[in-house]
Structure 1
């Protein structure tokens, strides 16, 4: 088992760990559904979480019985419209959108000399970090365009450790989703899950929410 003293780096997921962009994705899809005359429901919104852009669009069109109304090119335009909506929502973000306790945790990591990288599948991650005022904390960001496989494949977390020039065993990965925890474990890093202990049961340690994530609490779990 990894000891706390062995840890040199932290590899962060973005959504649900540092900030909650899923709300913004929901708003952007809701706006698109409204413009298409598709009735928005909570069930529809929940069903889109963690699903790719094109698959989400298909789900919305199916919900409105419009899946055969658009060509592939038109669907791509609709997906691009959703992304425009989303970026407009991102641009309203401020440091107040950082999840509770995370800024203090990042400050503590930086003060104690830990290395940080970001392992987010979102192409908009650098923009989000900029709005949150956290760009300087993450000089190393895995480029999603360079990945062949998405989570739960470990590739993104393996790259997150490589960017820091660290062995995966020296890194802790932070995630709020089961697929992400699986990716961290597959990469050979220590997994820290944030959220429901049942859902994230495969993680090496689970914290109920971001405010519980501190170096002291992590050390307690590892030693």
Structure 2
């Protein structure tokens, strides 16, 4: 086993849009709900939904509502959205693993650096098992394990505790502003994947997962 980078002992990955390309399925499911409810929805609004829980996402969608909803109706909408999303997940295949991720995970394993999934999704285990990539991570923290969604740092705190690694030796990989903020609140360094104007708080921002490599992490540790 190789030696890890000085200071870096664990890499914590978001799931949707970082390890697997499920972000498109979330978008399609929310778009369908918006169309059915006559609520305006576009890519900009969708960006705000990344990294947050289902109910928090629904609350953002409801900012453009054209009528009032009871709590029960909101819960039913959230359940309907999840039903659409899970149906889309049945289409998933190995090709939905984002480019560069498997090679990066292999590099980390070779260097003895621990890995974790930190996702707000309650479907995390389903996705990992469907793609047969659960064994690649030392621990998985999902929406079933946390009471507060990002930007609250709870999901990262739990992962670090399970891995036995202090926050300052963890690196977070995220594609959402909420996730990058959560990493900062957790006292962890981060790499953002996406637009620099949205992820500027990250220690480094890259355009694609294809750029993930140990050389990139050396700039932060």
Scaled by the length of structure 2, the TM-score of the pair is 0.83
- Paired position in structure 2 for 1:177: 176
- Paired position in structure 2 for 1:72: 71
**Paired residues for 1:1-223 under 5 Å:** 4-34=5-35, 36=36, 38=38, 42=42, 46=46, 49-50=49-50, 52-54=53-55, 56-57=57-58, 65=66, 67-68=67-68, 71-219=70-218, 221-222=219-220
Distance change >3 Å, CA 16–CA 63, structure 1 → 2: same
Structure 1 unaligned runs (5+)?
none
Task: Find the residue that maps to 1:188 and give its secondary structure.
Answer: coil
Is the 2:12–2:115 contact (alpha carbons within 8 Å) kept by the matching residues of 1? yes
Is the 1:96–1:132 contact (alpha carbons within 8 Å) kept by the matching residues of 2? no
Structure 2 unaligned runs (5+)?
none
Q: Which structure has the larger Rg over C-alpha atoms?
A: 1
- Aligned residue pairs total 217
Report deviation, 1:47.
6.7
Distance change >3 Å, CA 155–CA 79, structure 1 → 2: closer
- Quick one: distance in 1 between partners of 2:63 and 2:179? 28
Scaled by the length of structure 1, the TM-score of the pair is 0.83
- Quick one: distance in 1 between partners of 2:63 and 2:220? 47
- Quick one: distance in 1 between partners of 2:188 and 2:41? 38
CA-based RMSD of the aligned residues comes to 2.7
Distance change >3 Å, CA 101–CA 43, structure 1 → 2: closer
Is the 1:191–1:203 contact (alpha carbons within 8 Å) kept by the matching residues of 2? yes
